Structures are given as structure tokens and as C-alpha cells.
């Protein structure tokens, strides 16, 4: 089993950490922190898409059944799409609530939950949480039940090591 390129590995875990913080802090943390975190997620996602597209021909091999490969591909693409959707709808929420003007005037903002884009942001982030739980369950099944050391694929080390 080969590994993902170290740049993809680093981006994967940075993003996993940030998404965990954003998912658990949305609605709780001061909105400003959430928005800054969301902006960093947008940057990391853009970088990750560029790196991922450049790596298409150097991705690790998978020795799995066809349907599992397909399921993994759907979930992986879904994760990229949902993170993108969360970022775009989050920016929509900020525009709808005129957050930038409120920050400049140092005004508190209330009533996010009334906007349609907020409902979309919540729906997309809920779907993202479900996709991540499925992704985690699959990773743990491989690692601890099938014992195929899948986690080493997404960790640092020699590219060709077993």
C-alpha cells in the first residue's frame, strides 16, 4: 500500500482539525472567530483541490472490492463538495446579515436564523457531519477490524513503504 503525498496528508489533518472546530463552534463561538476559521477553511480547500488535481496520477493504490472503492470515491468527492458548500453558504450568510458593515461599525448582529441562506448553511453542515461520521466509521473498520493499516496511507513516511 502506498501513501498519499505528504502535502495532501498535511492538508487532510489540518482540515480535519479545523472542520471539527467549525462544526462544534458554529452558533457558540463568537461569530468573528467562526468566520475567520471559515475563511481559513476556504483557503485550505482551494489549496487542497489544486494539490489533489496535480496528484491524480500519483495516488495510492487500493486493493479493495469494486463497490467499496466506489463508495469511498463518492464519500471523498462528497466531502470536498460539502466543505465547498459550507464555505460558500457561510459567505452567503455573512453577506445576507451584512456582517462586514456590522464589524466595521462594531455592532452586534442578531437574527441569523431568519435567513434562507442560514437554513442552507445548517443543512449543508449537518450533511457534512453525517459524511464525516461515515468516513470515520469506514476508516476505523479498515484499521481495526480488517486490520489493513489504512491510516498509514494518510500519514507521513516513505512513499513506497508497506
Q: Which residues bind ligand HEM (CB under 6 A)?
A: 8, 12, 15-16, 19, 22-23, 26-27, 31, 34-35, 38-39, 41-42, 52, 62, 72, 76, 79-80, 83, 86-87, 90-91, 93-94, 112, 121-122, 125, 128, 132, 135-136, 139, 150-151, 153-154
CA gap 52, 58 in Å, rounded: 10
- For residue 101, CA distances in Å to 26, 28, 40, 97, 105 come to 20, 21, 21, 9, 6
Nearest residue (CB) to ligand HEM, 90 versus 158 = 90
- For residue 85, CA distances in Å to 17, 39, 72, 158 come to 18, 13, 20, 34
Shortest approach of ligand HEM to residue 32 CB, angstroms? 9
**What single DSSP character describes residue 89?**
H
Nearest residue (CB) to ligand HEM, 47 versus 158 = 47
Shortest approach of ligand HEM to residue 28 CB, angstroms? 7
Helix (H, G, I), strand (E, B) or coil at 44: helix
Nearest residue (CB) to ligand HEM, 2 versus 158 = 2
Amino acid at each position: 500500500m502506498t501513501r498519499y503525498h505528504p502535502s495532501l496528508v498535511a492538508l487532510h489533518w489540518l482540515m480535519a482539525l479545523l472542520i471539527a472546530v467549525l462544526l462544534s463552534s458554529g452558533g457558540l463561538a463568537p461569530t468573528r472567530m467562526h468566520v475567520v476559521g471559515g475563511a481559513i477553511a476556504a483557503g485550505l480547500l482551494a489549496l487542497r483541490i489544486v494539490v489533489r488535481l496535480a496528484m491524480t496520477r500519483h495516488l495510492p493504490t487500493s486493493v479493495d472490492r469494486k463497490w467499496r472503492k466506489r463508495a469511498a470515491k463518492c464519500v471523498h468527492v462528497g466531502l470536498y463538495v460539502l466543505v465547498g458548500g459550507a464555505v460558500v453558504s457561510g459567505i452567503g450568510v455573512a453577506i445576507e446579515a451584512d456582517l462586514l458593515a456590522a464589524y466595521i461599525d462594531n455592532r452586534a448582529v442578531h437574527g441569523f436564523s431568519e435567513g434562507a441562506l442560514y437554513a442552507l448553511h445548517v443543512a449543508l453542515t449537518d450533511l457534512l457531519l453525517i459524511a464525516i461520521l461515515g468516513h470515520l466509521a469506514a476508516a476505523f473498520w479498515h484499521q481495526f477490524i480488517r486490520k489493513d493499516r489504512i491510516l498509514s496511507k494518510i500519514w507521513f513516511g516513505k512513499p513506497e513503504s508497506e
